[in-house]
Each structure stands twice: as C-alpha cells, then as structure tokens.
Structure 1
C-alpha cells in the first residue's frame, strides 16, 4: 500500500514499512532503520542487551575488521551510527547520493553479518560500565537516573537503556547474538529516508539489505502499566558538599496516543516552556533562585509521559523554591493557567514549530514517532492547525483532569544532612527517602 501526502510517501510491505521524504536540493541521503520497543525489548535481568548489540554490530563484520570497516566508511565520507532509547532503537546512515550503494553495502554487513566478537564484546562492556560509573560526576545526569528509577519503580522503563551495571556483568555474547537475530534478522523494522532519493530508490535501498516481500512482524514489548503514586514523595539523592541542587518535580501524565496530548503540550509550554512563562518568570526572574526553570512533556511517546518541572536552586533556597513550584503546580492543576499565558505559548509554538520541521531531515524522527503512534507521518503538518484551534478552556480542563499535586514526585541531588529537616518541616504530607548517590553506579567490589 502506498500513500503520498505533502511530499511524504509511506509504503507498507510484508517485511517493512518505508517512509520517504524527498528533497533533491543537495545530493545527500539520510536514513534510519528503527526497531520499535527500544530497550523495552531487553530481557528481564539483561538490561543493555539491545544497546550493546547495536554498538557491537558497528565494530567489525564477518568480512571486515573494525579498522578496515571504519576506514572504508570514512573513505566514502559516510557515517553509520546506533542510538538506543526506551521506546526506540535506531541505526542511522548518512551518505552522498553517489556513495549510497557502497554505504548500504556496509550497512548490510552490519545488520546481517556482524562479527560480534568476544573480544570486542568485553571491550564494549567495560567502556559502557566506565560511562555509567562516571554518571555521579554530573549532578544533572545523576538526577535523571534516579528520577527514572523513582518514576517507573519496578517497570522495565526504570532501567537505563545502556544497561544497569549488575545486569551488564551478567550479559553474555550469546545474549547479544540472540538479540541480533530477533531484532535484525527476524524482526520488522521501520525505515525512514530523506534527501535526494525517490520512494522507488528507497525501496531498492532496503531490498539491497533484505527482501521486503518476506513477512516480518514488529516485536512485542511489555504492556504492563506504569504504577501511579497516590501520595507525594520526595527522594533525596545524598551527595556530599552540594551547593546547588538539581531538582525535578512532576508526575505521570498521558501518552502520545491520548486525546488530551495537544492541550497538555500547549499547557506545559505555557506554564514553563518559554522565558516569559509563569514558572520561569517566578523562579528565575522574580526571585533569582535558578537560572534554569522549565517544564518538560514529551508528547510523542507511546507510554505515558510525565510532566516535569526542572530547576537548579542553591541548596539554601531549596525549600522555598520547591514550595513555590508546588504552589504553582497546584494552581496549574486547578485550571488557573492564565489565558494570556496560553495565547503567548500558542504564538510561540506557531512560530517555532515550523522551524523544527523546516528540512526533510528535520521531519524524519517526527514522522517516525507518528508512525509508531499509529498516526500518519504527514500529521506533522497538521499540528499547527490543531494548536491554533485549541481553546484556552480546553487546555485548562486538561490540566485539571490529568494533574494532581497530591501525586507529585520530587527527586533532587543534595546533601541530605543539610536539607532533610527543612523538607520534613515544610512538606509534612510527603514521604521522604534518602538514597546514596553511588547506588547502582559503582563496580561491585
């Protein structure tokens, strides 16, 4: 089945779905081969399996050593890279049009004939663990790890896509080989091409790697729901000698499939998505507590996405800053977001969003995520019209419906002995737990 709308062609074959976004202004082709599910495909107790598999695939093939492979690729001026996330894993390519055939030949070796050597596996595992061990050196990254753990609890999404140290140490090369076979030899992939390439050439490109006529199915991912907290909870990641606190405050909202995702996104932008939004203005401009103050809501996720406030106050201002954020969030949940703030955010999105999809390459990942949500890729062009038509009342109602200050999760990197008493005194209704900042981020002794 072939469908072309606004310059985006979608073709569905037995063995693959191919999206082509043509732009012949430069003789360059970009592409993505995506495996839906991402790290959610990792077996229980084997986190990092898919990430390790994809990185290892790029470290030599059955026909070329790692050095020879890299030299050949660099000689073409092309690139191949891997990127793994919670919901999506991607192999990405970039090539001049004249070198597309040779680059795809190398990609075929990567996908179907990787070496997957024991030596490179051990080297990669050590490098991956080294990267994880370094996370506590950066408070922002550290807060992100503990936020993920606290938000998702026992759900598979609580694991880092790169893997947890203890589980990486239990991972074997056989696990990687099994993952490679399942995802790349047998599983269905979603392909997106952009640049100087036609739909027919895009299908030919995929056919040079494997037959699109051979039936393939997307791999099934865990479907268990993410548990929602029923009472406010504060996690203090205890790190000595902190002067500044990395602070995240929020709770789970909705997935990209939910009918309220647009009003929630507009509301999130209005609340803390610009320098003039209430959260940013009150925390940054009025009180000077944090240079950075913003909200985050990822509107294109298949699993529910949280609405999160990010700030970084001085430790001495922490309690006051958190109290203010709590009050502002409560007003937001009560539907008190001012219409002028919603209108200002609407105009910002209508002016900014077209720039984010201005080129064919810019449209690739948004089109890919829409496909995974079961929406047409050309829906990227429809978003401004929907935002333009959204009534302020609908935005406020969505905030009231999906936000609840009684369910707030707070995660911070701070020095526990300096902040816990103040937190207990001010937030008596919240449970507080203290975690060591190195937990799960050091090598076993």
Structure 2
C-alpha cells in the first residue's frame, strides 16, 4: 500500500489522500471518525455513449440490474441482505460513465464490500429481473411522452448532436428497450466494468490499511480494460435554429443552448463564474431578474454548464405562456449579448466570486457528498489537489477572463432552441 498527496489548505473543505492497494486498486481517501460510516463512490469510464446505435438504453438498464441479484442471491435475497445491515448500494448511468455508491456502518463493512463485489463481478441478469426492469422502464418512457419538459429535452439533444451517441436518448425508446437482450447487457457489463477504467473515492471511519483490503476484495478481481468504442468530439450543432414540438398545452417549455467550455479546459472556471452571473445564480442571476422579476415571463429560468467527454455546451431552461415565448427568447438572447459586449460590473463579478467561494464547502457536508465530488474530480483528471486549488482559481478570475469566456460561449449570438408547446408570434 502507498499513500501520497495529503492535501491541506485553508481554502479546502476536506483532506484527501491517495492510496494504492496491494493489488493495484487506486482510490482517493478521506479518513474521518466523526460518524461510524463509510461512503464509497466509484465511476467506470463508458456509459450510454457505448450503447448499440439501434438499441439505446442498454447502459441505463445495466445500471438498474446490477443490484437485482448477484452471485448466489436472486433479487429478493440480495436486497434482503442489504436491508438486514442497512447497507445502501445503488448504480447509475450517464453519457460517459456507469457509476455507483455504497454506504455502510463500519461494523458491516466486510459484508457491504462483499455485496459490492458480487454486484460488480457476478450480476445474475435473471430473466424475471430483466423483464421487471424492462417493464418499469417502458412504463416510464410512455408516461414521459406527455411531459413537455422531457419531450423538449429529448428533441434538443437530437438536434444538438444529430447522428452522434450524445444525440440518442440515454434511457432509450419504447422500441429499443423492448429489443434489449440479456446478451446486450452481458456484453456491456464486460466492456465497461473493468479495472483500468474505474475511479474510486472513499470517505469515513476507516484507515488506509483496512480500506486497502476491502478495495482489493471489491475491485481486485475486475478484468483488465479493453478499448471502448471511440466517441468522436462534436460541437453543438444547429445554432440559430428553433424547433417546435407540437403539444396542446397552455404553457410552452423551452430548452436553449450555446457552445460551452469543458471542465478540463483552463477556461472552465471563468465560464463557471460567467454562468453564475447569467443564469446559474438563482435569484441573483441576470436572467432571473430580467425574465421573472422585471417582466413576469416565467416562474423559473436558469442556465448551467454541461461537460461531456467529447462535447460541451451552456444549457438553459424556462417555461412561459405560448403567446410570450418570442418575448422571453428575445430577453434571454439580449442578456447574453449584453454580457458579451459589456461584461458584468466589477461589483457583480465580485459578488459572483464571493458566493461561489463561500458556498463551496456546503457541498462537503456529508460523507456521501464528499465521495461523489471527489470521484467526479478524479474522473475529469483534475488532480487530487483540485479542491484545495478551486477557490483560488475562482478568486483569480478577471474581467478579461470573463470576456474570453463570453466570446467562446455566446459567439455571434446564435443558439439552438427547442420549444414544446404551441408558441405564437415566433
């Protein structure tokens, strides 16, 4: 076992060490005896972007089935063993990764890590479990067909990344989920859940020596990684285009997007601050003030930065009466261009930085939050010292940095827009 990179800083909300177990499993570790719990987060490179082109939804279905029976235990028996020790185990799938989390009392750690091992290495994919999850997924997809927000979002990604894995629905379609076979699930499991692709973070009342033993138990027997299908880099497509999804509803749901800056890019932090000013700052953002407070166009409006392995965008949302859609979009695009041309005021910029710095520690108030944040940082390759550096990076953002980010994000002012409803006056 080796330990290194003990990160301590007045700006850092926690202390992180790296360790490598005897069998070569690497993890980021925060030892804390405040409560007798262990929280584990892990993520494997490769998610729904690895789905077969004609069967989107395999990765999400796989994630839902990993704890539906494993090793000698069928679904009921596996869940009963978790419940008997109050062990929380869950899995999820996104565009670029399949991940999961484990939370357990220290006294049940051996059993918890054994159940995690079984879920990772020996999922059963029993017929009844597959069919139950399939039925639940299809029922959800059918229900969503009447949801304007879901329909707008789905169409947005189709138009944003046409013909690309990111343009396909991560949860699949009714038809594709119906066609998924056990062999599809087993093939995805073999391809993604491998040693060389996993990032792990562990937080709790456990020392490095015991943690190394448990990590070897849960992850040590994973197969070596084989190459994944390449996911080609793709810029946001169809800028300047507006699409309408015709739905007979009195209020239209709007999704809009412009180019973005990925988390791994040096320009991300200035873009993050800029986004807080534009639409990420809840009640203080420009869009909230202009769209809701001054004009009463919408109840909520906001933007966020989206960073995938092979794409990035600035993504926004709102909803308004059909007859006020055009006005809302004009206000949104106008604020974007005003920020690009004039930038935020010095006071506005300082307030944004103060908030982002002061609120950062709030994301580290539970063991589970810390573990998930750390594993995301590890997945992005930002370094174990990122949480110690992050607030200094925010504090260093200048008006010139903001101007550079605005040029990259807002460009010539064109954005991709999808409206689900029956807007008038566009």
TM-score normalised according to structure 2 size:
0.91
Change in 2 beyond 3 A, CA 1:401/1:67:
closer
Change in 2 beyond 3 A, CA 1:303/1:310:
same
- Deviations 1:260-279 (Å, cap 9, x if unpaired)? 10101100101122212221
2:103 matched residue in structure 1:
94
Between the aligned partners of 2:316 and 2:122, the Cα distance in structure 1 is: 45
2:319 matched residue in structure 1:
312
After TM superposition, the structure 1 stretch with the greater mean CA deviation from structure 2, 404-413 or 358-367, is 358-367
- Deviations 1:58-79 (Å, cap 9, x if unpaired)? 1112411211211111010111
Change in 2 beyond 3 A, CA 1:358/1:342:
same
Change in 2 beyond 3 A, CA 1:301/1:342:
farther
Taking the TM superposition and a 5 Å limit, the aligned residue runs for 1:121-200 are: 121-184=130-193, 188-200=197-209
The answer to whether residue 127 in structure 2 is matched with residue 118 in structure 1 is yes
The 3-state SS of whatever aligns with 1:109 is helix
Return the offset for 1:350: 1.6
Change in 2 beyond 3 A, CA 1:114/1:411:
same
Between the aligned partners of 1:132 and 1:16, the Cα distance in structure 2 is: 38
Instruction: Decide which of 279, 284, 289 is 2:287's aligned counterpart.
Output: 279
- Deviations 1:59-100 (Å, cap 9, x if unpaired)? 112411211211111010111111111122112111100011
The 3-state SS of whatever aligns with 2:260 is strand
- Deviations 1:383-421 (Å, cap 9, x if unpaired)? 111111111221122212332244310111112xx52xx
Contact kept? 2:70, 2:122, Cα under 8 Å = yes
2:11 matched residue in structure 1:
none
Return the offset for 1:315: 1.5
The answer to whether residue 374 in structure 2 is matched with residue 367 in structure 1 is yes
1:249 matched residue in structure 2:
256
Contact kept? 1:36, 1:88, Cα under 8 Å = yes
Between the aligned partners of 2:101 and 2:169, the Cα distance in structure 1 is: 21
Contact kept? 1:302, 1:372, Cα under 8 Å = no
Change in 2 beyond 3 A, CA 1:182/1:249:
closer
Return the offset for 1:219: 4.9
Between the aligned partners of 2:42 and 2:53, the Cα distance in structure 1 is: 25
After TM superposition, the structure 1 stretch with the greater mean CA deviation from structure 2, 9-18 or 60-69, is 9-18
Instruction: Decide which of 305, 310, 323 is 1:303's aligned counterpart.
Output: 310
Contact kept? 1:295, 1:310, Cα under 8 Å = yes
Count of aligned positions: 416
1:222 matched residue in structure 2:
230
Post-superposition, which runs of at least 4 consecutive aligned residues in structure 1 deviate over 4 A? 12-15
Return the offset for 1:221: 4.9
After TM superposition, the structure 1 stretch with the greater mean CA deviation from structure 2, 334-343 or 168-177, is 334-343
Unmatched runs of 5 consecutive residues or more in structure 2: 8-14
Contact kept? 1:187, 1:219, Cα under 8 Å = no
TM-score normalised according to structure 1 size:
0.87
Contact kept? 2:25, 2:216, Cα under 8 Å = no
Change in 2 beyond 3 A, CA 1:185/1:282:
closer
Change in 2 beyond 3 A, CA 1:180/1:22:
same
Taking the TM superposition and a 5 Å limit, the aligned residue runs for 1:406-421 are: 406-415=413-422, 418-419=423-424
The answer to whether residue 10 in structure 2 is matched with residue 10 in structure 1 is no
The 3-state SS of whatever aligns with 2:104 is strand
Between the aligned partners of 1:277 and 1:210, the Cα distance in structure 2 is: 44
Instruction: Decide which of 259, 280, 285 is 2:266's aligned counterpart.
Output: 259
Contact kept? 2:28, 2:200, Cα under 8 Å = yes
The answer to whether residue 86 in structure 2 is matched with residue 77 in structure 1 is yes
Contact kept? 1:229, 1:407, Cα under 8 Å = no
Change in 2 beyond 3 A, CA 1:406/1:394:
closer
Return the offset for 1:19: 1.4
The 3-state SS of whatever aligns with 2:150 is helix
Between the aligned partners of 1:37 and 1:183, the Cα distance in structure 2 is: 6
Between the aligned partners of 2:227 and 2:41, the Cα distance in structure 1 is: 18
Between the aligned partners of 1:114 and 1:82, the Cα distance in structure 2 is: 12
Change in 2 beyond 3 A, CA 1:134/1:215:
closer
Contact kept? 1:151, 1:251, Cα under 8 Å = no
After TM superposition, the structure 1 stretch with the greater mean CA deviation from structure 2, 57-66 or 216-225, is 216-225
Unmatched runs of 5 consecutive residues or more in structure 1: 424-445
Taking the TM superposition and a 5 Å limit, the aligned residue runs for 1:23-102 are: 23-102=32-111
Between the aligned partners of 1:149 and 1:282, the Cα distance in structure 2 is: 29
